[in-house]
Structure 1
Amino acid sequence: MKNLHNIAVGILVFLLMSACNTNPKPIDYGNDGCHFCKMTIVDKIHGSELITDKGKVFKFDATECMLNYMAETKDLQIGNILTNYYEAPTELIKTQEATFLISENLPSPMGAYLTAFENTANAEKVQAEKGGKLYNWEALKAHLHKK
């Protein structure tokens, strides 16, 4: 009887700990829908995820959709914010570590021409070829919210 009790407690602890997991979940391209605009997520370079501190995952087809959702939903308790990036489509990195390029020569799904890069050096190489302006996460949020 005591073993059954210990097993039940162990399962309960495991479930509680996994419920607050702020790790990303893979985007199922072509099947998952954007939480903001409801479009199917197909572009493997521009997807993003917002994960609450309780582990709920919201998937988006573009970083601008995620930013719009964040602006409309003020009471979010955010655990992690991630974005796909140019150099490794389908991979996710923290938005705070990414460099963003807005270039009209590099389209994104929702028309903001916004693409994330793993680092500033990679973003500068593409910027030299395609033009545009570079932003870090905080500057990008300020830029897009003043429009």
Structure 2
Amino acid sequence: MKKQIIPLLVFLGLALGCSVSPQPIDYGHVGCHYCSMTIVDKQHAAQLVTSKGKVFNFDAVECMMNSLKSGNVSDISLFLVNDFDHPGELVDATKATYLISEKIPSPMGAFLSAFSEQQAAQQVLAMNDGTLLSWNDLKQQYEQ
């Protein structure tokens, strides 16, 4: 009986260890995968998760986009960004609305913030000026 349980436990350990899900960012201790800067800003951080469950953290959305452009991360299952209105909360980057506003600095100077709700982004836009982008707009901007 013990011989049957050991392979089962090994299988379960491997299966759980490779789950594709967001992982908490250890702010103040982990570095950005793209620029190596320590991630401290809970409003602008981002994360990519591969289909094998490997996590890449970024100090800003612009670092994530530059990393995607450079091709040094592939086979992505999850694209995640911090919601500007809910610091530290990772949301689906493909569904987020993005604001570029020179009145709201981001860690790497692109003035790029992400919002889980388009209405929230529009409210911040009304107070700060700038430009709203969808995920596809943002990707096109970084592909140029």
- TM-score (normalizing by structure 1): 0.93
Q: 5+ residue gaps in structure 2?
A: none
How far apart, CA to CA, are the structure 2 residues paired with 1:127 and 1:106?
Answer: 10
Displacement after TM superposition at 1:127 (Å): 0.3
How far apart, CA to CA, are the structure 1 residues paired with 2:137 and 2:38?
Answer: 28
Match of 1:73 in 2: 71
Match of 2:117 in 1: 119
Match of 1:132 in 2: 130
How far apart, CA to CA, are the structure 2 residues paired with 1:144 and 1:79?
Answer: 19
1:99 lines up with 2:128 in the alignment: no
Match of 2:48 in 1: 50
1:31 lines up with 2:29 in the alignment: yes
Aligned residues: 144
Q: Is the 8 A contact 1:104 1:113 kept in 2?
A: yes
Which letter maps to 2:6? Answer: A
Match of 1:110 in 2: 108
Change in Cα spacing, 1:29 to 1:74, as seen in structure 2 (3 Å) is closer
Q: 5+ residue gaps in structure 1?
A: none
1:64 lines up with 2:50 in the alignment: no
Displacement after TM superposition at 1:17 (Å): 1.6
Q: State how 1:11-22 maps to structure 2 within 5 Å.
A: 11-22=9-20
How far apart, CA to CA, are the structure 2 residues paired with 1:55 and 1:19?
Answer: 8
Q: Is the 8 A contact 2:47 2:58 kept in 1?
A: yes
Which letter maps to 1:130? Answer: N
User: Percent sequence identity over matched residues?
Assistant: 44
How far apart, CA to CA, are the structure 2 residues paired with 1:72 and 1:144?
Answer: 10
Q: Is the 8 A contact 1:19 1:54 kept in 2?
A: no
How far apart, CA to CA, are the structure 2 residues paired with 1:106 and 1:6?
Answer: 58
Displacement after TM superposition at 1:75 (Å): 6.5
User: Could you say what secondary structure the match of 1:91 adopts?
Assistant: strand
1:7-65 deviation digits (Å, cap 9, x = unpaired): 21221221232233111111111111000000000111000110010000000000110
Q: RMSD of the alignment, in Å? A: 1.3
Displacement after TM superposition at 1:74 (Å): 6.0
User: Could you say what secondary structure the match of 1:59 adopts?
Assistant: strand
